[in-house]
Chain A
Amino acid sequence: MPLIEAKDLVKEFRRVRPKTGAFSTVRTLFSRDFEVTRAVDGVGFAVEAGELVGYLGPNGAGKSTTIKMLTGILTPTSGTVEVAGVVPWRQRERNARNIGVVFGQRSQLWWDLPLRDSFRMIGRLYRVAPARYAQNLDRFVEVLGLASFLDTPVRQLSLGQRMRGDLAAAMLYEPPILYLDEPTVGLDVIAKERIREFVAGLNAEQGTTVLLTTHDMDDVERLCRRLVLIDHGRVLYDGPVAPLKEKYAPHRELVVQLASPAEVVVPNADVVRAEEGRVWLSFDPRTTPAASLIAEVSAKYEVTDLSLVEPDLEGVIRRMYLEREG
């Protein structure tokens, strides 16, 4: 049985539709005109224990709303969710003991208390045995490098420090499931890498099941073996990363630097971008070997430099969404 299972999940939000024009505020005041938005529209997927799944989609696709239903914060309009045998919004307290939650935008820590105090309260609220607690805390302090700001009130921490604190707090009671919502947003490269390393370690060593939403494709490339892509509240793709790349990014790019700017025309390749003598050529390696393309271009133009670009996931997903729109 899967650890996390969502079926036909739907969430609608109701908002009063604001009026415009004369007396707009007064008319809004007495309005019964609701705007219903369907943030999640029939999402379903299952996650097995030990998986590390990336849950991706453009802004407003319904990522956070789904995560909030999985964690029990929101009650779905329809559909079912079961997490470790518990219906999250019905048995919130039982569910809470099974899950760790880190929201990049919002800290779960106590704003006015030193990090250490927040940890102590988490330990007591989740009834972690003292010996276990001390052991876990020591480990996290070391792995996440928390020692230097353990006694600083949370509101004085930098974003990166706070995120590390939040991660430790979410894992102190060793939940089998960890939800990460934009864990690296706004962090610098080093802080991002540290967090990725920690998450990869949890998944590999403790078998923690991780569901990750992110805008950062490096997070996904580094961590996830499986992707669930959603848009407009529906699942577009659910599966491993590699086939997705093959399907949506069969093309490679050849970047050439010309000695003098020129209009480049070669058969079997399209110019996708050109600026100041640098030209990006897109081609299909299945029909046009890179070597022959390079030879062709070098013969026709004076090339001072060139490089081949592998497709990145971000490009893949952008192309996929574009294709869908068009």
Chain B
Amino acid sequence: MLWQLRAGLILLGGAFRATAQYRANIFSNMAAGAAFQTVGLIGLWVILNRFGEVAGWTMSDVALMYGLRLTAHAAWAVPLNQLMEIEHQVREGLIDRYLVRPVNPLVQLLTGRVRLNVFGDLAAGLILLAVAASRADVDWTPARLAFLVLAILGGGMIEGGFQLGLAAISFRTLGTSEMRFTVDTIFNLYGNYPAKIFSVPGQIALSVLPVAFVAYLPTCALLGRDSGLPLPDWAGYAAPGLGLLIATGGYLFWRSQLRNYQGAGS
């Protein structure tokens, strides 16, 4: 484990030096990452500016939820962003080299390249969360702050675990980018709005999937609101445990799928 971390740092160092060759993009990439997340919020702001509230949630409530989800998103996107390369690497047989080096192939994939735009996501998420948290109607005790941090990590592991599992299907030389993109879109779209606006089947789907656990339910718990979902009250605090479970499952599935890697061509 410690060796994997050290090896990861060595590889990351190389990736960073390689990225530095394309210096022009570093800041535009970060700006893009931040803008990506901000645009969605602007859309929401435009709607709430005109309509006042959605399902009893005002802009400040929605902003807290949005900030929590963005930060959770960054919490998986920062370490796992290279998963988006997997299809290309499987198709071109680039995984070969990971499998003949003395480091966990996943660590090698993740440290293959530095994508600074995800740090833009992280910055945007943290800034929004800080602003929204200070404006939201929440009494920030140390316990609540600790829960906020755990909820962010748990939410990140929920999404990251799914992404890892889906990426692993690429080893069967199947295309997964649209699938991963769709799941990301679902979390992005459906995770950023109060889940109670949906009909009961929709609410059940969001609970099972479990989009609602990433930001909606923890935000309800922090704001002391009824989620309106057919779930027990403690569900608001379930994100960290669920995240750990899904992330572990995702990794075990990844390991099992690696057996199906066929290399490039024949």
Chain B binds chain A: yes
B258 to chain A, nearest CB (A): 8
Q: Are A108 and B18 neighbours in the complex by a CB distance under 8 Å?
A: no
Contact of A68 with B96 in the complex, beta carbons under 8 Å: yes
In the complex, besides A13-B266, A71-B100, A89-B259, 20 extra interface pairs with C-beta distance below 8 angstroms are A64-B266, A73-B95, A73-B261, A73-B263, A74-B262, A75-B259, A92-B100, A93-B102, A101-B100, A106-B264, A108-B100, A111-B18, A112-B17, A112-B18, A112-B21, A113-B17, A113-B18, A117-B14, A118-B14, A125-B101
Question: Which residues of A are found within 8 Å of B100, using beta-carbon distances?
Answer: 71-73, 92, 96, 99, 101, 108
> Using an 8 Å CB-CB cutoff, how does the interface string of A71-82 with B read, 1 for contact, 0 for none?
111110000000
B99→A121 contact, CB < 8 A: no
Residue B50, interface by CB 8 Å: no
Chain A residues within an 8 Å CB radius of B266: 13, 37, 39, 60, 64-65
Contact partner, A68, options B18, B259, B263, Cβ 8 Å? B263
- CB pair B99 A92 closer than 8 Å: yes
Checking A15, A39, A106 against B93 with a beta-carbon cut-off of 8 angstroms, the contacting residue is A106
Closest to A100 in B: B100
Q: B10, B260, B263, B264: which contacts A121 (Cβ < 8 A)?
A: B10
Q: Lowest 5 A-B CB distances belong to which pairs?
A: A112-B18, A96-B102, A75-B259, A73-B99, A93-B102
Q: Enumerate chain B residues within 8 angstroms of A19, measured Cβ to Cβ.
A: none
Per the CB 8 Å criterion, the residue count for chain A at the interface is: 35
A residues apposed to B, CB below 8 Å: 13, 15, 37, 39, 60, 64-65, 68, 71-75, 89, 92-94, 96-97, 99, 101, 103, 106, 108, 110-113, 117-118, 121, 124-126, 153
CB distance from A88 to the nearest CB of B (A): 9
Which of B18, B95, B101, B259: most chain A Cβ within 10 A?
A: B101
Flag if A72 contacts B10 (CB, 8 Å): no
B263 with A125: CB separation less than 8 A: no
Q: Which residues of chain B are near A93, meaning CB under 8 Å?
A: 102-104
Question: Do the beta carbons of A74 and B101 come within 8 Å of each other?
Answer: no
Q: Is there contact, CB below 8 Å, between A117 and B17?
A: yes
* Chain B residue contacts of A68, Cβ below 8 A: 96, 263
- B242 interfacial by beta-carbon distance below 8 Å: no
Q: Of residues B11, B21, B96, B105, which shows the largest number of chain A Cβ atoms within 10 Å of its Cβ?
A: B96
Q: Mark B15-58, 1 if CB is under 8 A from A, else 0.
A: 00110010000000000000000000000000000000000000
CA gap between A113 and B21 in the complex, in Å: 9
Q: Does residue B97 face the partner (Cβ distance < 8 Å to A)? A: yes
Minimum CB–CB distance from A48 to chain B (whole Å) comes to 22
| Whole-angstrom CA separation of A153 from B21 in the bound complex | 10
Question: B18 contacts A106, CB within 8 Å?
Answer: no
- Write the chain B residue with the least CB distance to A110: B14
A74 to B259, CA, bound (A): 7
| Minimum Cβ distance to chain B for residue A182 (Å) | 13
A117 to B11 alpha-carbon distance, docked (Å) = 11
By a CB distance below 8 angstroms, the chain B residues around A15 are 173
**B204 within 8 Å of A by Cβ?**
no
Q: Does B7 contact A (CB under 8 A)?
A: yes
Report the nearest A residue to B264, measured CB to CB: A106
CB closest residue in chain B, given A127: B102
A68 to B96, CA, bound (A): 8
